[in-house]
Amino acid sequence: MKSFSKPLLLVLAIYCISMNTVELHAQNAKEIIIKMDSVENFTYDSSVRKIKFTSCRYSLSGGRLKCKNSPRITVVENVHKDYIVAPKKKDVNSLDIVVSPIAEKGTNMLVWKEADQEDNDFWLYLPALGKVKRIASSNDGAETGSVFGTEFSIEDVSQRKIKDYTYKIIGEGIFNKRPVWKIAAIPTAARAKKTFYSKVITWVDKERLVKMKDELFNRKGDLFKQLITKKVDYIDGVWIVTESSMINLNSRRITNYDVLSIGFNMEIDDSFFTQRSMTDFAYKEKKMKEYRTHLKVVKSN
């Protein structure tokens, strides 16, 4: 039998430990993302919320971002409902309705997301045109479109499918006084053809398992946007981000996101997620009055 020298055995042992550590980190990274996804997307089955988006061009002064111009404020009501089709797998319907500014009131966007479909279905209603317009599938770039003129794109506010990425823990630390893991997500070859981002680095709160920060890199590999969580609240048994900022480093614009009121796990009619709700103001408002009675105020407008 061939014998090995002690130095060679030591090298082999270190190599095996290193490989096991890499595999463990890769596994743990995905497990952490799965747990974060569970907290973010599977702790309630429906929600209604009123959201304020405040957007402006920014300048850096004293280490802080400040608006250079009068901000553009958009208030939106969002209604969403989940349809569980398998463990940790769901279809999602949502309707976003612009409340203000008055010139855009009634503009709304309907989204159907099917767990087993690669692309989502989008419809946009503009009151000035008086008709519903089908938005091109994500195959054709709809995901890069802005959400009501904010720095959030449709891709930014859509649930990422875990299978579309590979994950790796690249560090740990403290962010906004919270212990976090830093996890890099790289899109698979199939996903890379559709997403605007070549890489996303996410800071995950170790205790609450919520997203504290995203760094979003464009297809050239440049840092393009940053999503910063400013406030997390525990409402009706749900950890929910109620204040955040999306910073566009390319355009030097920022959008602040504030949840004004929210309610979870209420009965929402399936028929609400149809084009009737987009075009029939009386029908839509009747339903919204019913849903608003379940909302809890989070922040004054």
pLDDT at 5: 53
Q: What is the pLDDT of residues 57-83, one digit of tens each?
A: 999 888 888 999 999 999 999 999 999
Query: Residue 13: its pLDDT value, please?
Result: 47
Provide the CATH number for the domain around residue 16: 2.50.20.10
The model's pLDDT over 119-145, given as tens digits with 9 standing for 90+, comes to 788 899 999 889 999 886 544 444 567
Q: Which pLDDT score is estimated for 12?
A: 46
Check residue 140 and give its pLDDT.
46
Task: Look at residue 1 and tell me if it is in a domain.
Answer: no
pLDDT at residue 20, as a whole number: 43
Number of domains in the chain: 1
In this prediction the pTM is 0.86
Residues in the chain with pLDDT values less than 70: 1-27, 136-144
Q: What pLDDT is recorded for position 301?
A: 72
Distance CA 94, CA 81 (A): 6
Range of the domain at 234: 6-297
